Structure 1
Amino acid sequence: EQILWKRCLDMNDRALRNVDINLDDKNATPRREHFQLTVASQIMAILCLSNDMRDFRQRIEQTIVAFTFDHRPITIKDLKCVGSILVLMKEAIKPNLVQTLEKNPIMIHGGPFANIAHGANSIIATKMALKLADYVITEAGFGSDLGAQKFMDITSPTAGIHPSAVVLVTTIRALKMHGGLAYDDLKEENLDALRAGLPNLAKHVENIRIYGVPLVVAVNKFLFDTPAELSIVKTWCLENQVPYALNESWEQGSQGAVALAKEVMLLCEKENKYHSIMKHDQTIQEKLDILNTNIYGGKKVVYSDLALTQLAQIETLGLNKLNVCVAKTQASLSDNPKLLGRPEGCDLHVRELQISSGAGFIVAVCGAIMTMPGLPKVPAAIGIDIDDHGRITGLF
């Protein structure tokens, strides 16, 4: 249990979350091992948060991978394999330039999920893009409580960049779901459920405004969205003085996003008071209290016995003022995926505190979130097939 570096395998297999190894090897020590997705690994976070190869080297060197029997930390530098890792990552650290169907340039580099990691592509790719274009748009995964919060409090301070504007994307279906409508009924018009889901949108708007960055609410329009439903969201935005844009790119491609693009360009010229809500001298507990109260709308932070033991170890190592990266469900503002809408006054349950010294933060694993997912009740594979002519169905 003193080995922190987990194995990675990119497949859904809940049986690999906890496994016992070396059971029949008399020359090895039997122990508990854990698998996780690559996107949740520390090496992914280090790759995406490094400013250059020198920074990458320093982060690798200071990464704690295990502890000795007398509780002394062992880093990658102690293992004398930093150079080998750098050679392996020599090409991987370079961003990938691809293009859309309409030949717009895109850089794809890194993929830390925002629910189980920090949720942003690499700093190197972002800074390179900023040198090549007038406007750069980057994704911060999921909602304001996950990807956006981490972009504002982790990625931007690390990169030394200030976001100019935020596009807060929503859909009519998502708002109706947060209004209590069943999944199978989301394509049907239901104005009451839509209105009931607006408090969720309101909280996400409030979260972005905490950081002082101008924002626009972009509604991704689909064929089954009705004029009455779209009107309700637009009216709510106007009444609450929130910039609004309808995005029809799903149906029309880039032409359907022109109105949104123009709104973003205007926002980039507006007053910007971006700031992180975290301070370097705050403890892990203080940072989690800030997130729970201000971003999640919660009441108090509750630590498991394991988390308290890990917290004491972190304090002993002098790492208690590292940044914090929360791993929690993306389905709710809280750590409970069943609490839809705008839950308030909930406790944040910290199950585990994982040291990511190379990335520069502590991962607070909250609720029942898993870094190695399992298959759903009805796996996608059940609907995939191929006919006699080689036509594949069920992939999308």
Structure 2
Amino acid sequence: MMSNSVTLEEKVKPLHIKHIMEQIGLTDDDFEYYGKFTGKIRLEVMEKMKDKPDGKLIIVTAITPTPSGEGKTLTSIGLSQALNKIGKKSIVTLREPSLGPVFGIKGGATGGGKSQVIPSELINLHFNGDIHAVASAHNLLAALIDAHIHHGNELRIDVNNITWERTIDMNDRALRHIVIGLGGKANGVPRESGFVITAASETMAILCMAGSRADLKRRLCEIVIGYNLDGEPVKA
């Protein structure tokens, strides 16, 4: 199926992203271009659209994919195509794929056949860098925790009760449960930790839930990274 999808993609000339934006009523001021075919809608659009009626939301979830990879993504794309075909204005919203599934037996994460989004290679491999940015922010906090402990641990963080793990955009089972801080005093305090896949990290969840930049900052500050020696929560 994947080879057929690639063949079909090669036969299609993608539209400039500007044409797609015009179809849903957005202008250049509403959008940041990342080349000809991708980009990001500015957060200010939420304020611009606040007085317009809400659309209808259809959630596609909990589908077991077929051996050919027909699952939630392909179904969502096909459903959106069908709605547009009958005259409805429909937009499909997909999460950015993680590198683990992309390089595994599941293949890509952009649909397949005539129900796929393109350019698939760009989307599957980092896209516009959002997952990388989330991982960097998440791991910065993890590094700050260990640096704080190394430099005296003023907050009296219990090293055996730290709940904030690191993250990576790869479902590598060997990193799920690890020991860090080995190699002597200069390398930190030895303790158990682990990695979670970035798409399932708390930082990603907060980004998805935040309604504004101010709300995002507030939620990030409320993160509980673990507990002190008195059993009290320690926040970011």
- The reply to whether TM is greater than 0.5 is no
TM-score (norm 1): 0.19
TM-score (norm 2): 0.31
